[in-house]
Amino acid sequence: MMQDTTVNPATAPGAPLHVVTGAFGFSGKYIALRLLERGIRVRTLTNHPNGDSSLRSRIEVAPLNFRNVAELARSLQGATTVYNTYWVRFARGRTNHETAVENTKVLIRAAAQAGVQRIVHVSITNPSPASPLPYFRGKAVVEEAIRSSALSYAILRPAVVFGAEDILLNNIAWMLRRFPVFALPGKGDYGLQPIFVEDLAALAVDSGRSRENIVVDAVGPETYSYADLVQLIRGTIGSRSRIVRIPAAGVVLASWLLSRMVNDVVLTKDEVSGLMANLLISKESPTGSTSLRAWLQAHARTTGKNYASELERHYRS
Ligand SMILES: NC(=O)c1ccc[n+]([C@@H]2O[C@H](COP(=O)([O-])OP(=O)(O)OC[C@H]3O[C@@H](n4cnc5c(N)ncnc54)[C@H](OP(=O)(O)O)[C@@H]3O)[C@@H](O)[C@H]2O)c1
């Protein structure tokens, strides 16, 4: 049974209330932590109410139930600002990017109904309504729904987010630790501009304070080609895996086989296409300052020690 607390012992009476979707997840956790540091009362909307226990005793919890707009609006009542991290990585079961778009529209409606003034929404670099990739297309549709809502907004567009709980870079390191060969799709010359999760959280919380409508790329100070990024991780963790270049279809097949081995979805065909289409870089100035290279060095012993499973996080209770 989901607990819906109304009193948060961590903040002073009268503190403003902000709502974060997914505060027991990856970026939502750091947004919630930063809000708490600023003395803000935090409520999270989540389907995983028993997540991260250290945060759990400090924030309020309500269901992220898109089928019940009235309940969502009640959970958003009294909040000035909502930080939305909700999205799905890939289609699975009854949920795909189209349903994630509709769900997010429900959240936006509920926020407007509840009198929320501002939404800080986490999107993706280079979304486009014309994209053949449902992830990037869906993100563009959601951005448009936010722009045409009554809420003031900050739309933040990260490319790749790194930090202790990250999945993508961690699992590259995991593969480099375990397998004698690591395959790059194509030439590996397409770019990535990762941002540290705490820099993203800082940007989100700062953006929550203003009422100006903004759309900004959330990217770190370093841009890598995918091949250089894999080399960097390989060198930092001391892997001896041989890096080879193969056609994208080969990587998709290898990912599918590995997915069966680890009982997860390691990388989808669309994710490989998004990567290779150079969509994970920005033309804007960096908004994050933390160096991935430095962070990796500091976390060389732990990065990729354990496999991080998307299905474990989001599909199994
Ligand atoms: N991580 C990255 O490298 C990266 C890169 C670019 C853009 N982004 C964007 O940044 C935002 C946050 O990403 P994140 O990695 O921090 O996400 P996350 O913590 O894994 O999940 C964020 C929220 O989405 C919900 N969610 C995720 N997958 C779901 C599923 N399959 N079904 C139902 N709910 C699901 C979570 O639900 P629960 O609360 O129930 O767990 C949580 O509320 C997303 O919009 C993502 O598109 C992330």
Q: Tens digits of per-residue pLDDT, 184-242?
A: 999 999 999 999 999 999 999 999 999 999 999 999 999 999 999 999 999 999 999 99
Q: State the pTM of this model.
A: 0.96
Q: pLDDT tens digit string along 66-95?
A: 999 999 999 999 999 999 999 999 999 999
Of 279, 137, 145, which is closest to residue 219 (Cα–Cα)? 279
Q: What does each of the 317 residues of the chain score in pLDDT, given as a tens digit?
A: 344 444 455 577 789 999 999 999 999 999 999 999 999 999 999 999 887 668 999 999 999 999 999 999 999 999 999 999 999 999 999 999 999 999 999 999 999 999 999 999 999 999 999 999 999 999 999 999 999 999 999 999 999 999 999 999 999 999 999 999 999 999 999 999 999 999 999 999 999 999 999 999 999 999 999 999 999 999 999 999 999 999 999 999 999 999 999 999 999 999 999 999 999 999 999 999 999 999 999 999 999 999 999 999 999 86
Of 234, 246, 244, 205, which is closest to residue 304 (Cα–Cα)? 234
What is the distance of C-alpha 267 from the center of its chain? 15
Q: Verify whether ligand 1 is closer than 6 Å to residue 314 (CB atom).
A: yes
Q: Verify whether ligand 1 is closer than 6 Å to residue 171 (CB atom).
A: no
Q: Provide the greatest CA pair distance for the chain.
A: 59
Report the distance separating Cα 106 and Cα 87, nearest Å. 13
Task: Return the domain boundaries, the chain.
Answer: 17-162+194-218, 168-191+222-281+289-314
CA of 84 to the centre of ligand 1 (A): 9
What ligand 1 atom has the least distance to the C-alpha of 157?
A: 7
DSSP tag of 201: H
Report the distance separating Cα 204 and Cα 252, nearest Å. 34
CA of 213 to the centre of ligand 1 (A): 23
Q: Verify whether ligand 1 is closer than 6 Å to residue 163 (CB atom).
A: no
CA of 26 to the centre of ligand 1 (A): 7
Report the distance separating Cα 308 and Cα 317, nearest Å. 15
User: Per the CATH hierarchy, to which homologous superfamily does domain 17-162+194-218 belong?
Assistant: NAD(P)-binding Rossmann-like Domain (3.40.50.720)
CA distances 36 to 42, 86, 166, 198, 218, Å, are: 7, 20, 22, 14, 22
Mean predicted lDDT score pLDDT of the chain? 95
The confidence score (pLDDT) of residue 61 equals 96
What ligand 1 atom has the least distance to the C-alpha of 194?
A: 3
SS3 191: strand
What is the distance of C-alpha 218 from the center of its chain? 11
What ligand 1 atom has the least distance to the C-alpha of 168?
A: 3
**What is the token pair recorded at 276?**
């290779």
In which element (H, E) is residue 243 found?
strand 242-246
